[in-house]
């Protein structure tokens, strides 16, 4: 996909047929900056646990429910220390509130939002990266200017730990990587494991070890000082993908193959609500969800089950206007971007980004042609509403209007 956006696209609010108050992107409409800012900064989302192939939820460290820092909830380390408090329940509650206020005070004293920094290119020794570097600078500048215009300077006091819950930490090379499912995240986690010294090669690491092991650290596992120090000094990377392609890829992966989690949890609920006269077998096992049914679920403001990280918006997974990412990679140029990034951080020369398909290797990769086949059964209105749903991702990362 090219790094260009259709000119003249502005934002207005309208009424969608499938969910209320959807954001419609139209030409020649007035920009509502306050509404865009609200959607950028006010993004507390609850996530479902992913499937565990062995049915053991304790192995789901990589995709556990996120913590939210609020006036009545605390970080893990804080809860551990509070558990040792003695005294009456009212005394304990007062102490917890005081600790939370202290935490907010410390955060208020920090310099937020973090400034974007020039990339350190001293370790790049090959001239072949010139074009890739120019593209990277354009992406960084575009995202920065978008966030300056629409993101405001809001301080994320109410959900700091939630904001960083998708970010993986590699301390040796000082990397922060925000995980975006269906945008090369499995192979990126393999790279992080090799950089951490946990494996000699990316080709030796199984899918289960990547997603269900407890090998990699996440940023929300550190205390406030540890989080802020790493955000301010490490190289922060996010890799994104055309939202429509990512959505179709997620559907194919989770609903077109046997799956012990997504079929019984999501499939059964989707079939029950959106398939008239569903047969008993489909209601019992949740298999055979149709793409149109999945889209009805996605666009329903009263979903029978919540959102999932595999089709959640990048703006809600990685908070690009509150965390200033140093590197913005795209799935469409994944290997080139990833290998340039490895040069930037001084990775071993022999380490290259793997190009193998993580699962369902015999399936054709999801591309624009495949996406068109899935969208042909949808109405124009439904396609427009999908675009509206992901409008912020399309704007932030400068993707063109697709398939409408």
Higher pLDDT, 312 or 112: 312
* Residue 209 scores a pLDDT above 50: yes
Least confident of 5-9, 215-219, 382-386: 5-9
What pLDDT band is residue 208 in, cutting at 50, 70 and 90? confident
Four-residue CA torsion sign, 54, 194, 219, 42 = negative
The yes-or-no verdict on residue 66 having pLDDT over 60 is: no
Query: In which band, very low, low, confident or very high, does the pLDDT at 4 lie, cut at 50, 70 and 90?
Result: very low
What is the predicted pLDDT for the residue at 369?
Answer: 92
Least reliable range by pLDDT among 79-83, 92-96, 192-196, 244-248: 79-83
pLDDT at 213: 72
Task: Give the pLDDT band (50/70/90) at residue 149.
Answer: confident
By DSSP bridging, strand 217-218 and strand 327-330 are unpaired
Q: Which residues lie below 8 Å from residue 365, measured CB to CB, with a gap of 6+?
A: 357
The pLDDT tens digits for 133-146 are 999 999 999 999 99
Return the higher-pLDDT residue of 220 and 105. 220
pLDDT above 80: residue 286:
yes
228-239 tens-digit pLDDT: 999 999 999 999
User: In this model, does residue 246 exceed pLDDT 80?
Assistant: yes
pLDDT at residue 98, rounded to an integer: 67
Per residue in 158-172, pLDDT (tens digit) is 478 889 999 999 999
pLDDT band at 101 (very low <50, low <70, confident <90, very high): low
Determine the pLDDT at residue 238: 98
Quick: pLDDT tens for 106-119. 555 555 555 667 78
164 contacts 323 by C-beta, under 8 angstroms: yes
Residue 97's pLDDT band (boundaries 50, 70, 90)? low
Give 264's pLDDT tier (boundaries 50, 70, 90).
very high
Q: What is the pLDDT of residue 189?
A: 92
**Whether the predicted pLDDT of 99 surpasses 80:** no
What's the whole-number mean pLDDT along residues 234-249? 97
Express as a percent the part of the chain with pLDDT over 70: 68
Q: Which residue has the higher pLDDT, 57 or 242?
A: 242
pLDDT at 173 over 80: yes
* Cβ atoms of 272 and 293 closer than 8 Å: no
With cut-offs at 50, 70 and 90, classify the pLDDT of residue 174.
Answer: very high
pLDDT tens column, 368-379:
999 999 999 899
Is residue 346 within 8 A of residue 135, CB to CB? The reply is no
């Amino acid at each position: 996909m090219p790094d260009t956006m259709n000119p003249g696209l502005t934002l207005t609010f309208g009424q969608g047929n499938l969910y209320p108050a959807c954001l419609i992107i139209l030409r020649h409409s007035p920009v509502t900056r306050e509404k865009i800012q609200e959607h950028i900064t006010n993004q507390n989302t609850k996530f479902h646990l992913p499937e565990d192939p062995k049915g053991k939820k304790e192995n789901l460290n990589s995709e556990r429910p996120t913590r939210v820092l609020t006036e009545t909830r605390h970080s893990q380390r804080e809860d551990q220390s509070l558990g040792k408090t003695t005294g009456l329940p009212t005394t304990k509650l007062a102490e917890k509130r005081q600790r939370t206020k202290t935490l907010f005070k410390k955060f208020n004293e920090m310099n937020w939002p973090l400034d974007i920094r020039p990339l350190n290119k001293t370790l790049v020794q090959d001239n072949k990266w010139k074009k890739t570097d120019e593209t990277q600078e354009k992406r960084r500048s575009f995202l920065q200017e978008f966030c300056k215009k629409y993101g405001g300077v809001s301080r994320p006091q109410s959900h700091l730990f939630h904001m960083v819950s998708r970010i993986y930490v590699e301390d040796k090379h000082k990397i922060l990587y925000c995980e975006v499912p269906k945008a090369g995240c499995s192979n990126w986690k393999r790279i992080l494991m090799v950089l951490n010294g946990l494996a000699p090669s990316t080709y030796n690491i199984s899918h289960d070890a990547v997603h269900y092991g407890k090998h990699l650290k996440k940023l929300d596992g550190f205390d406030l000082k540890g989080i802020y120090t790493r955000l301010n000094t490490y190289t922060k990377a996010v890799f994104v993908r055309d939202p429509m392609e990512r959505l179709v890829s997620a559907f194919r992966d989770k609903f077109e193959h046997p799956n012990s989690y997504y079929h019984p949890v999501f499939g059964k609920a989707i079939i029950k609500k959106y398939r008239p006269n569903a047969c008993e077998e489909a209601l019992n096992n949740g298999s055979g969800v149709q793409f149109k049914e999945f889209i009805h679920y996605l666009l329903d403001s009263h979903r029978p089950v919540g959102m999932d990280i595999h089709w959640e918006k990048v703006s809600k997974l990685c908070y690009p206007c509150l965390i200033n990412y140093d590197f913005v990679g795209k799935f469409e140029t994944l290997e080139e971007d990833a290998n340039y990034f490895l040069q930037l951080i001084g990775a071993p020369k022999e380490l290259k980004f793997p190009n193998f398909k993580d699962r369902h290797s015999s399936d054709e990769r999801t591309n624009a042609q495949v996406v068109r086949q899935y969208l042909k059964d949808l109405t124009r209105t439904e396609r427009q509403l999908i675009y509206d749903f992901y409008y912020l991702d399309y704007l932030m990362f400068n993707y063109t209007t697709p398939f409408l």
